[in-house]
């Protein structure tokens, strides 16, 4: 078991890796408890939930809508939740986003924590304090930055996940390696088959390493004014792809990472060999690196990204595997790159 701490402006968040879901009660404060989960998690694990009322959402991104969130607020009111209550999200990225957002806004904020049940959530979505909901298909347009009191990551829970869900998490693990450490990238290349087979020892080690990377970045820049932008590697283009196509987050980020690497290569920042190594690793995890969709349509969605600055956007590129670079790019330059590459294919 390993404990990793994120130091937030309004308190610390403790991430516990390799702790069993059955032990979550010992991390809970002595407050009135309310649980938010989804129906898939409820079906698998409700028998080991702490004793408390729970609200079970429909699985999937479609639940991250304000209209749906209102029903959770009403449920909390009907069950006499107050400012000294505690909200526990038990689920994957969608559940953690919703639980964190609800807790951060209900009665101007109550304490909350997570039991993270998906690989994507364990290595990324539940860690770092970002909580948000969607608007008109645009991801996380409405949200907060507020750290959970704790995040419990039990790799044993991943055994019940379909391969599609595991793939989403592998994309974020690759991302963390690409923006931080070529040695970790090499370890992912070497351990790929063991990770796909859910070797518990190796899986726990890589989950903890991914969390350590994100924790260092978030502790240094919780509000995303500087280096936290590095965590957007693959997400700028990827979120637009996800919005437009509805494919899963990890697959969209994989396509976004390919785009960012191709752009980096075009600018002479990485070699063709480095580009191909990234593509090969993504494909080894079963992740897509291309899409059957008009790139100009993706660009049109990208222009509405919440991270844009007037006529430009901060884009994360690579100067080498493990060596990221934040570059402010004019939309016209990006559009030219998109059109030129589209003409070449």
Catalytic center residues: 108, 130, 172, 214, 224, 228, 232, 235, 239, 249
Name the token pair of 339.
Answer: 């059109």
Backbone angles phi, psi at 7, to 5 degrees: -95, 105
Q: CA distances (Å), 21 to each of 37, 144, 161, 197, in order?
A: 13, 26, 15, 21
If we measure between CA atoms, which residue out of 180, 183, 186 comes closest to residue 214? 180
Q: Which helix (H) or strand (E) holds 157?
A: none
DSSP conformation letters of 313-341: EEEEEEEETTEEEEEEEEHHHHHHHHHHH
Name the token pair of 30.
Answer: 């002595």
Q: How many angstroms separate the CA atoms of 235 and 250, rounded?
A: 10
Cα Rg for the chain, rounded, in angstroms? 20
Give the list of residues 6+ apart from residue 154 with CB closer than 8 angstroms, or none: 18, 19, 20, 21, 115, 116, 117
Q: How many angstroms separate the CA atoms of 119 and 208, rounded?
A: 11
223-262 burial by CB neighbour count: b if 16+ within 10 A, else e? ebeeebbbbbbbbbbbbbbbbbbebbbbbbbbbbbbbbbb
If we measure between CA atoms, which residue out of 112, 224, 210 comes closest to residue 168? 210
Q: How many angstroms separate the CA atoms of 221 and 57, rounded?
A: 32
Q: How many angstroms separate the CA atoms of 297 and 319, rounded?
A: 28
If we measure between CA atoms, which residue out of 41, 38, 74 comes closest to residue 57? 38
């Amino acid at each position: 078991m390993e404990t990793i701490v994120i130091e937030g402006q309004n308190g610390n968040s403790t991430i516990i890796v390799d702790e069993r879901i059955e032990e979550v009660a010992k991390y809970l404060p002595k407050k009135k408890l309310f649980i938010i989960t989804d129906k898939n998690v409820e079906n698998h694990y409700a028998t080991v939930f702490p004793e408390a009322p729970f609200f079970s959402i429909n699985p999937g991104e479609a639940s991250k809508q304000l209209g749906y969130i209102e029903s959770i607020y009403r449920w909390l009111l009907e069950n006499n939740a107050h400012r000294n209550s505690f909200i526990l999200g038990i689920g994957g990225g969608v559940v953690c986003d919703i639980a964190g957002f609800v807790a951060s806004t209900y009665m101007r904020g109550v304490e909350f924590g997570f039991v993270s049940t998906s690989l994507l959530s364990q290595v990324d979505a539940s860690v770092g304090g970002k909580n948000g909901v969607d608007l008109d298909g645009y991801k996380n347009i409405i949200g907060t930055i507020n750290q959970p009191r704790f995040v419990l990551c039990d790799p044993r829970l991943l055994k019940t996940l379909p391969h599609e869900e595991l793939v989403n998490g592998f994309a974020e693990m690759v991302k963390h390696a690409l923006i931080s450490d070529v040695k970790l990238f090499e370890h992912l290349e070497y351990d790929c088959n063991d990770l796909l087979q859910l070797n518990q020892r190796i899986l726990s080690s890589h989950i903890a390493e991914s969390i350590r990377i994100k924790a260092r970045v978030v502790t240094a820049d919780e509000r995303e004014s500087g280096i936290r932008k590095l965590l957007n590697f693959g997400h700028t283009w990827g979120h637009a792809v996800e919005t437009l196509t509805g494919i899963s987050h990890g697959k969209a980020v994989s396509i976004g990472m390919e785009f960012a690497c191709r752009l980096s290569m075009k600018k002479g920042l990485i070699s063709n060999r480095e580009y191909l190594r990234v593509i090969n690793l993504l494909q080894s995890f079963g992740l897509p690196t291309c899409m059957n969709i008009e790139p100009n349509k993706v660009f049109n969605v990208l222009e509405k990204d919440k991270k844009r600055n007037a006529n430009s956007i901060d884009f994360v590129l690579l100067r080498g595997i493990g060596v990221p670079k934040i570059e402010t790019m004019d939309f016209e330059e990006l559009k030219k790159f998109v059109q030129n590459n589209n003409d070449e294919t």
